[in-house]
């Protein structure tokens, strides 16, 4: 009887006797969800609006006159966009793979230490979470000591190891059964071998989650490029996007653009929004497909810490 | 035999404890080495670089060659009214973000809990989470599309026969806009977090309350919220611990202060001030890099004190949730 009641509870939601109330909740939540989608809809719509229509009627949710001119123009001068995609893919791939390896080796090593050494190691990783040198010293160290200005290394290196993620990984590794590690040691496996052949396969869920967050961080990062990339060819997507936001002529006033779009006037505002759609769209769709892993990651980081 | 034992005995006693310790831990240290080197290079080296807040920085002389000026940079910073403005903007806006963010996320989480087993709820959660996937730069595009002189809001005003508003010239709207933009971009995170706490509550507590005659609202206020109050208090404390650090992307891209000085009175926070001063210094403008370095130093130190105090309080309430 109790079980049946429980089942009913689970099926209907505990308070779910009144259909009207639930319908109202659905309507409120749908309203919020539409608000979340609204800005995306707006820029997609503007990117498909005819330039004259835009000039006459302003930004609208449904264009009076649909036009593909912006995309047509954009795909005539795709060089910068392709290059930026290349840089972002490179940075995300190498940053995530090297980073996750380095962080998990450090996090696992910390669980193997004992006594005072362990306490020192934890403090060493924790302190940067709480205190940072700040922008200007960071910039000077990166450019003057390491000479990384205008290099692609400057876009990868600084985010390889996040002290916060190292601490998360450490607490995950610490709760793995220690007997397995002891058994591997008895069989003569080295620390490295234990780590790669036993610990890594046992930790794929947490490694995947932290890997996803790291990859998203690299993909959406504008900060390192804003600081270190002034005139090099290593302009990632987000920096190109920012330059376009600031000044749409970044795309229309290049020699290639002049050659390939002779006589075509750029539809400036739709072009800017088309650029945003093409630059951000694939990343958003990809992340959406992995949405539930991110949802899991939040609870990992904030509750089970 | 005797000799061999004596020799080996001497060998053991000759190895210092340090060497023995190193020998035992060497494989572990090797495993950790890359990460440790990285943390030293990226996290600790800039901390030493903070001395430039006490120097008159000259490019030719580098960090350590530039002359010391004592507290001059700080005197200069706190002597100007900019120090108050950026501190106020940072703390006040973060305060508004914490209040609005917590209330909205909690409300949404409570609502979603009521319909948790409906198949659409999964879709709602991912939709709320959408902003998490787009970079801050895209927020700048959204801002432009909404608030330009011919943007969406003005299209609406025009169709209602109202005067258009030049948003980027009018600071008075921007505290609201920034609160809205922050809510938009962070509500999914908070909602998912609080929802995961609410889901964990044993339904028997509600049943017991219901038997005692509690209605739905009473169950929410007297059962649900007390059950997750640790989660709420901890999130609040950690947010207060970070109240001295602003979300740079939000304040830089949404009001577009990179090419617009009009909105600085309400939108310039410590992080954007330091960045703008730094950027000006890089492009050869006459700005005081020392003052920016002093502001960065001030932010780091006050931020550190706040987060350590917040953690101290969290530890008192619930030790397992403390950061350290």
pLDDT tens-digit profile of A86-125?
999 999 999 999 999 999 999 999 999 988 899 999 999 9
Cβ-Cβ contacts under 8 Å, B125 against chain A: 291, 295
Q: Name the residue of chain A whose CA is nearest to B104's CA.
A: A32
Residues B151 and A59 sit within 8 Å (Cβ to Cβ) = yes
Q: Name the residue of chain B whose CA is nearest to A12's CA.
A: B117
Mean pLDDT of B80-92: 92
Distance of CA B50 to the CA centre of its chain: 21
Average pLDDT, chain A: 85
User: In angstroms, rounded to a whole number, what is the distance separating the alpha carbons of residues A40 and A18?
Assistant: 34
> What pLDDT sits at residue B1?
44
Mean pLDDT of A290-303: 67
Q: Tell me the percentage of chain A whose pLDDT exceeds 70.
A: 87
> What pLDDT sits at residue B316?
86
Q: Please, which residues bridge with residue B218 across strands?
A: none
Kindly tell me the burial class for residue B14, based on how many C-beta atoms sit within 10 Å of its own C-beta (0-12, 13-18, 19 or more). Answer: exposed
Cβ-Cβ contacts under 8 Å, B34 against chain A: 102, 105-106
Best A29, A61, A84, A115 member to test B by mutation, with max B CBs in 10 Å, is A29
Model confidence at A14, pLDDT cuts 50, 70, 90, reads very low
Give pLDDT tens digits for A240-291: 999 888 877 776 666 666 666 666 677 888 888 998 999 888 888 888 888 7
Cβ-Cβ contacts under 8 Å, A10 against chain B: 117
Cβ-Cβ contacts under 8 Å, A21 against chain B: 114
Give pLDDT tens digits for A44-69: 999 998 888 888 888 888 888 888 88
> What pLDDT sits at residue B12?
53
Of the listed ranges A28-42, B281-295, B299-313, the one predicted with least confidence: B281-295
Give pLDDT tens digits for B97-139: 999 999 999 999 999 998 888 888 888 888 888 888 888 999 9
Mean pLDDT of A142-156: 93
Of the listed ranges A270-279, B63-72, B236-245, the one predicted with least confidence: B63-72
Residues B299 and B273 sit within 8 Å (Cβ to Cβ) = no
Asked if B188 lies within 8 A of A36 by C-beta distance, the reply is yes
User: In angstroms, rounded to a whole number, what is the distance separating the alpha carbons of residues A266 and A54?
Assistant: 13
Token pair listed for B117: 């087993």
Q: Tell me the percentage of chain B whose pLDDT exceeds 90.
A: 40
Shortest Cα distance, chain B CAs vs residue A43, angstroms: 7
User: In angstroms, rounded to a whole number, what is the distance separating the alpha carbons of residues A85 and A241?
Assistant: 11
- A165/A304: higher pLDDT: A165
Cβ-Cβ contacts under 8 Å, A145 against chain B: 45
Mean pLDDT of B81-95: 93
Model confidence at B192, pLDDT cuts 50, 70, 90, reads confident
Asked if B300 lies within 8 A of A216 by C-beta distance, the reply is no
Shortest Cα distance, chain B CAs vs residue A156, angstroms: 12
On the question of pLDDT at B314 being above 90, the answer is no
Cβ-Cβ contacts under 8 Å, A60 against chain B: 152, 155
Token pair listed for A197: 């052949």
Asked if B25 lies within 8 A of A117 by C-beta distance, the reply is yes
Of the listed ranges A105-109, B50-54, B180-184, the one predicted with least confidence: B50-54
Token pair listed for B99: 């209040």
Best A126, A136, A288 member to test B by mutation, with max B CBs in 10 Å, is A136
Shortest Cα distance, chain B CAs vs residue A59, angstroms: 5
Give pLDDT tens digits for A157-180: 999 999 999 998 998 899 888 888
- Tell me which residues of chain A, numbers 214 to 243, contact chain B at a CB-CB cutoff of 8 Å: 216, 219-223, 238, 241-242
Residues A213 and A117 sit within 8 Å (Cβ to Cβ) = no
Give pLDDT tens digits for B245-267: 999 999 999 998 888 888 999 99
Cβ-Cβ contacts under 8 Å, A138 against chain B: 42, 46, 49
Angle between helices B174-199 and B120-129 (to 10 degrees): 140
> What pLDDT sits at residue B179?
97
Asked if B130 lies within 8 A of A222 by C-beta distance, the reply is no
Q: Name the residue of chain B whose CA is nearest to A162's CA.
A: B39
User: In angstroms, rounded to a whole number, what is the distance separating the alpha carbons of residues B248 and A200?
Assistant: 36
> What pLDDT sits at residue B13?
57
Asked if A32 lies within 8 A of B118 by C-beta distance, the reply is no
3 state SS of A210: helix
Would an 8 Å CB–CB cutoff place A121 in contact with chain B?
yes
Asked if B28 lies within 8 A of A103 by C-beta distance, the reply is no
B128 → closest Cβ in A33, A40, A103: A33
Asked if A36 lies within 8 A of B39 by C-beta distance, the reply is no
The radius of gyration of chain B's CA atoms, rounded to the nearest angstrom, is 27
User: In angstroms, rounded to a whole number, what is the distance separating the alpha carbons of residues B79 and B27?
Assistant: 54
Q: Tell me the percentage of chain A whose pLDDT exceeds 90.
A: 47
């Amino acid at each position: 009887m109790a079980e049946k009641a429980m089942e009913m509870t689970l099926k209907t939601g505990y308070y779910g006797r009144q259909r009207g109330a639930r319908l109202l909740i659905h309507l409120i939540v749908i309203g919020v969800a539409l608000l979340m989608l609204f800005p995306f809809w707006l820029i997609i719509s503007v990117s498909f609006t005819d330039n004259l229509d835009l000039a006459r009627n302003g930004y609208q949710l449904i264009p009076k006159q649909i036009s593909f001119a912006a995309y047509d123009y954009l795909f005539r001068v795709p060089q910068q966009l392709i290059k930026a995609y290349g840089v972002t893919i490179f940075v995300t791939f190498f940053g995530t793979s090297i980073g996750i390896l380095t962080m998990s080796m450090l996090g696992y090593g910390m669980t193997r230490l004992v006594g005072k050494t362990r306490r020192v190691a934890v403090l060493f990783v924790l302190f940067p979470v709480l205190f940072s040198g700040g922008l200007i010293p960071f910039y000077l160290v990166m450019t003057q000591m390491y000479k990384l200005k205008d290099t692609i290394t400057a876009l990868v290196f600084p985010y390889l190891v996040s002290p916060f993620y190292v601490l998360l990984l450490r607490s995950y590794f610490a709760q793995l059964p220690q007997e397995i590690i002891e058994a591997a040691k008895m069989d003569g496996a080295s620390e490295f071998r234990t780590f790669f052949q036993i610990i890594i396969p046992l930790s794929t869920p947490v490694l995947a989650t932290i890997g996803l967050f790291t990859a998203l961080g690299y993909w959406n990062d504008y900060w390192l490029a804003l600081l270190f990339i002034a005139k090099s060819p290593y302009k990632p997507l987000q920096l190109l996007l920012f330059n376009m936001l600031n000044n749409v002529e970044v795309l229309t006033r290049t020699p290639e653009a002049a050659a390939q779009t002779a006589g075509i006037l750029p539809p400036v505002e739709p072009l800017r929004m088309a650029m945003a759609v093409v630059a951000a769209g694939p990343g958003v769709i990809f992340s959406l497909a992995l949405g539930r892993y991110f949802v899991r990651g939040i609870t990992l980081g904030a509750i089970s810490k | 035999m005797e000799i061999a034992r004596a020799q080996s005995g001497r060998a053991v006693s000759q190895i210092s404890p340090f060497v023995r310790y190193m020998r035992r831990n060497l494989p572990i240290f090797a495993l950790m080495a890359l990460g440790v080197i990285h943390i030293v290079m990226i996290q600790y080296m800039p901390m030493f670089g903070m001395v430039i807040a006490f120097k008159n920085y000259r490019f030719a002389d580098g960090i350590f060659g530039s002359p010391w000026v004592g507290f001059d940079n700080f005197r200069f910073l706190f002597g100007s009214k900019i120090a108050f403005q950026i501190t106020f903007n940072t703390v006040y806006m973060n305060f508004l973000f914490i209040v609005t963010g917590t209330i909205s996320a909690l409300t949404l989480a409570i609502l979603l809990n009521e319909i948790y087993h409906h198949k659409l709820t999964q879709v709602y959660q991912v939709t709320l989470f959408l902003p998490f996937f787009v970079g801050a730069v895209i927020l700048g595009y959204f801002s432009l599309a909404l608030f330009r002189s011919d943007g969406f809001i003005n299209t609406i005003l025009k169709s209602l026969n109202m005067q258009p508003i030049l948003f980027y010239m009018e600071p008075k709207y921007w505290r609201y806009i920034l609160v809205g933009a922050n809510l938009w971009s962070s509500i999914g995170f908070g909602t998912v977090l609080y929802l995961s706490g609410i889901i964990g509550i044993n339904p028997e507590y509600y049943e017991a309350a219901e038997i005692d005659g509690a209605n739905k609202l009473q169950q929410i206020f007297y059962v649900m919220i007390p059950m997750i109050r640790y989660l709420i208090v901890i999130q609040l404390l950690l947010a207060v611990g970070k109240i001295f650090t602003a979300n740079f992307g939000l304040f830089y891209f949404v009001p577009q202060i990179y090419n617009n000085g009009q909105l600085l009175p309400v939108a310039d926070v410590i992080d954007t001030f330091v960045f703008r001063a730094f950027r000006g210094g890089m492009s050869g403008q006459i700005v005081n890099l020392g003052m920016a370095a002093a502001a960065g130093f001030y932010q780091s130190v006050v931020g550190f004190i706040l987060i350590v105090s917040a953690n101290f309080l969290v530890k008192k309430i619930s030790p397992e949730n403390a950061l350290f």
